[in-house]
Amino acid sequence: HVSVVLFTSDLRLHDHPPLRAALDSADAVVPLFVRDRAVAEAGFATPNRSAFLADCLADLDASLRERGGRLVVRSGDLVEEVCRAVTEADADEVHMSAEPSRFAALREERLRAALEADGRRLSVHDAVTAAVPPGEVTPAASDHFAVFTPYYRRWAQVRPRAVVAAPRRVPVPDRVKGEPLPARGEVAGVSPALPAGGESEGRKRVTAYWRRGLDAYDDTRDDLAADATSRLSAHLHFGVLSPVELVHRARRHGGPGAEAFVRQLAWRDFHRQVLAARPDAAHADYRTKHDRWRSERAAKADIEAWREGRTGYPVIDAAMRQLRHEGWMHNRARLLTACFLTKTLYVDWRIGAAHFLYWLVDGDVANNQLNWQWVAGTGADTRPNRVLNPVTQSKRYDPDGAYVRRWVPELDRVDAPAVHEPWKLPRADRAALDYPDPVIGLSDGLCRFRRARDLRN
């Protein structure tokens, strides 16, 4: 009696309920990962995420081999490949994790229909890729929370399920063959400082962060230069770490740092429950409809300057360059760059979200699209007209200018406060810098935003 365990964004052995359930009910399992053609066709298999994924698959395979098994990797249409593996293994059940996007829901539906037509079962497990799954807490009059604070109040009262131990042995039948694992080195166009992926790497990072960063998280998480956040987002995106396990571990650790960290994990679940209830929020305005963005053609030069990190606003340029170099950007910098694009340059949030999704190794439909909407004022922010001024924010969150100088070497000899607004330097000093003038005056941008807002209201 054999079961297939379909791995998707849960590439780990620790705290993996589908694998546990399969091992409890079958004599052998087929741990399967399908490189889904549809993911590539949708433009989602970008170089950074493909490279990180290759690390995750290699690590998962190595951990399975230590337990007497191996990972079976196939490429093609996910439903066809799973059905083929099921037939080859003569399996009667497939176990997998629930995911909130429309893409995942449709895929699950097709898979269930195909398996059931052949007399097999699909078991979908909740609380694998979220600590508190969508739908578990809801307000009285709706299927999901549209505002974070009341959601968090309820979320914080839920005790996530117990952590499931990693299996000691994973017997895999010989008759099911896979293809060679993809290798990180085969992927072109990867960010030079992309971090390494995989469950072993993720778990090491958690241990190190719990020792050195977590207690100070609440005080340091907005400090751009200190770079003191956990950097666990990509590990969570690929599911090499379990959000359930992280919540338990952080609560056990205790203190204000751990509490603030757990609250950020709740933001992750918040966006997932919005997306699960309103899958169109991945593309369409979620709460406030907004259709007065500048046309892409009119804003072309500004958009290019933003993408390439040469807007003339040092903190914006630093952040946009960090994104390309590391495939990651600090949360405060994400807020500033997204706000600058939407509320100062007045460009549609979808254009910025697509650029982020291309480069971010943690690029995630729920987190990326809904955070963009939050910043753009079309989403869940209760203050949709808030505008973050890149100069004041830069002075507050990078007071010495160390973050700016790290990423914008043209300014490496400029001290604070001029490093935040180099246009204020004496004319000769300014002329000596090979650094652009601002693409837009701040008041122009703000005026444009306010004018449009007034038109809207």
Q: Which residues bind ligand FAD (CB under 6 A)?
A: 221, 229-233, 236-237, 261, 264-265, 267-268, 271, 331, 334-335, 338, 356, 360, 362-364, 367-368, 371-372, 375
| Cβ distance to ligand FAD smaller for residue 81 or 317 | 317
Residue 82: CB minimum distance to ligand FAD, A: 27
Q: Closest separation between CB of residue 65 and ligand FAD, Å?
A: 29
Q: Which is nearer to ligand FAD, 216 or 442 (CB)?
A: 216
* Beta carbon of residue 377, minimum distance to ligand FAD (angstroms, whole number): 12
Find the shortest distance in angstroms from Cβ 375 to ligand FAD: 5
Closer by beta carbon to ligand FAD, 18 or else 243: 243
Comparing CB distances to ligand FAD, the nearer of 125 and 332 is: 332
- Nearer residue to ligand FAD within complex by CB, 7 or 372: 372
Spatial neighbors of 363 by CB under 8 A, at least 6 apart, are 46, 48, 49, 237, 356, 357
Q: Minimum distance between the CB of residue 1 and ligand FAD, rounded to whole angstroms?
A: 37
Whichever of 12 and 334 has its CB closer to ligand FAD, that residue is 334
Smaller CB separation from ligand FAD, 3 or 368: 368
Q: How far apart are CA 304 and CA 384, in angstroms?
A: 25
Q: Which of 388, 389, 433 has the alpha carbon at shortest distance from 408?
A: 433
Closest to ligand FAD by CB, 286 or 356: 356
**Is the CB of 243 or the CB of 438 nearer to ligand FAD?**
243
Q: Name the minimum Å distance from CB 16 to ligand FAD.
A: 18
- Minimum distance, C-beta of residue 79 to ligand FAD, in the bound complex (Å): 26
- The 3-state secondary structure of 273-339 reads HHHHHCHHHHCCCCCCCCCCCCCCCCCHHHHHHHHHCCCCCHHHHHHHHHHHHHCCCCHHHHHHHHH
Closest distance between ligand FAD and the C-beta of residue 313, in Å?
16
- Strands 121-125 and 28-36 come out as unpaired
For residue 143, the minimal CB distance to ligand FAD (Å) is 20
